[in-house]
Structure formats: structure tokens, C-alpha cells
Amino acid sequence: MIRVPRADIDETRLHPVEGRTVCPYKGLCHYYGIGDQDRAVWSYRTAYREVDRIGDMVSFEPDHVEGTLDGRRLHVEPGPKAISHGLDADEAKVR
């Protein structure tokens, strides 16, 4: 994942897509498309107070979006592997 401060991106390149998920730790997640890649970008615009610092961040899926900074390609830092448990149970309620 590539996480960028909202102020550092051109939000006019993003288009909202349907469907949201709820994380019990971060809050409501909004998804966006960029170009022809739907759900390649996400943000917790209304993150819970305890993690509100991520509210100004926008995350990009590195398998779908290439990030560059000053002409140099950004690489994903190794970290813990997330294990998907399928669709969020609250996704249908939030749509």
C-alpha cells in the first residue's frame, strides 16, 4: 500500500465508486477509482478519533497504481501480510 497525504494528490483524478466497508478500528472506508482501475484507492475520511491522523491520508493499491515522487518510483515497504476474511459484514448495510 502506498499512503499519501490528501494535500499531495490531485483529487480531480479520482472518481468515487459504489460500496463502502467498515473497519472496527478505523471507521468507514470510502473507495475511489483512478483511470479504469476501480477500488484502487481508498480513504478513511471520517476515521475514528483515536486514529484521526489517517483521515487526511489516501491509500493506493500498488498492484493497480504506480506511485512516483520527484520522478522516482515509490516501492512498497515490506510489512505484515494481511489475511482477507472476505467481504466486510457491514458492507451491505452501508451502501
Ramachandran area for residue 40 (φ above 0: left; ψ -120 to 50: alpha; else beta): alpha
pTM: 0.71
Model confidence at 82: pLDDT above 70: no
Identify the burial level of 7 via C-beta atoms within 10 angstroms of its C-beta, where 0-12 means exposed, 13-18 middle and 19 or more buried: exposed
Three-state SS for 86? coil
Q: Whole-angstrom Cα distance, residue 57 to residue 50?
A: 15
Q: Average of pLDDT values for 45-74?
A: 86
Q: Higher-confidence residue: 62 or 23?
A: 23
Phi first, then psi: what are they for 81, rounded to 5°? -85, 130
The answer to whether 19 and 95 are in contact (CB under 8 A) is: yes
Q: Average of pLDDT values for 48-54?
A: 92
Banded pLDDT at 67 (limits 50, 70, 90): confident
Phi first, then psi: what are they for 77, rounded to 5°? -75, 140
Please write the tens of the pLDDT for every residue from 10-24. Answer: 899 999 999 999 999
Q: Average of pLDDT values for 45-60?
A: 91
